[in-house]
Amino acid sequence: MITLSGIIGSGKSSMTGLLAKELGTKAFFEPVEDNPVLPLFYKGNEIAAKKRADGDKEATNPYAYLLQTYFLNRRFKMIKEAMKEDNNILDRSIYEDELFMKMNTEMGNATQVEYQIYQDLLANMMEELPFAARKKSPDLMITIRVSYETMIKRITKRGRDYELIENDPSLVEYYKKLLRYYDEWIEAYKVSPLLVIDGDKYDFVNNNKDRVEVLEQIENELFKLKKISIEQMDNFRKKHQKFL
């Protein structure tokens, strides 16, 4: 099992699709387009930020806890589906879920009570996951690390109105803070082998050479972990020559 992690706009979903095709396995994607809570959450962030700026220090985002429990529930279901098969790739890790709830609590968007309930729920879910008896962690965690500038460029390109900083200036602080939280999360992550991809350096979506280089970084790591054979490595390299 391979899991992807990274901030919004880092290219997780794109890399999940590319990697699943490369390895001939199934991709499991985080629900975004059909998420009814996400636009409400962004609007709630904007309203809460304005209220706090106007002196209401207790203003919270009523959708922060709802969004994170929505994601947690959908991700829990996705992992259970993925674990029915031997090989799969998930475009978001349950291990980074708490990061968002923690940050929203510290920003004032969620309450300490909501955060504690969320932590208890997450802990219970982790105990119940079916892979607990077989494997307690992914075989490989891949994190795509990007700068604020790259993130904003990609967010702007895909054009979801509620994610755009020109529509909501409070998102500038939110995104920059989220980047700092991800840096801390990457440094603290010890659950499984971790491979960090430089998302600023490699445009693996639009550039064939960059795509091949990133795929080979991942495959080399899988080979070192004894998850793919030398024969598979040779086949991947032969296939890559057609794209260079």
Q: Would you name the residues annotated as active-site residues?
A: 91
Residue 10, marked binder: yes
Residue 170, marked binder: no
Residue 159: name the closest of 147, 149, 167 by CA. Answer: 167
Which tokens go with 37? Answer: 């809570």
Residue 218, marked binder: no
Residue 192, marked binder: no
Residue 9, marked binder: yes
**β-pairing verdict for 140-145 and 88-90:** unpaired
Chain position carrying tokens 């029915």: 84
**Can you tell me the distance from the alpha carbon of 129 to that of 148, in angstroms, rounded to the nearest whole number?**
34
In sign, the C-alpha dihedral spanning 184, 187, 189, 193 is positive
Residue 60, marked binder: no
Instruction: Answer whether 192's CB lies under 8 Å from 227's CB.
Output: no
Residue 77, marked binder: no
From the CB of residue 195, how many other CB atoms can be counted at a distance below 10 Å?
Answer: 18
Residue 11, marked binder: yes
Residue 154, marked binder: yes
**Can you tell me the distance from the alpha carbon of 20 to that of 154, in angstroms, rounded to the nearest whole number?**
22
Residue 8, marked binder: yes
Annotated binding site for ATP: 6-14, 154-158
Annotated binding site for substrate: 30, 42, 68, 92, 97, 163
Annotated binding site: 6-14, 30, 42, 68, 92, 97, 154-158, 163
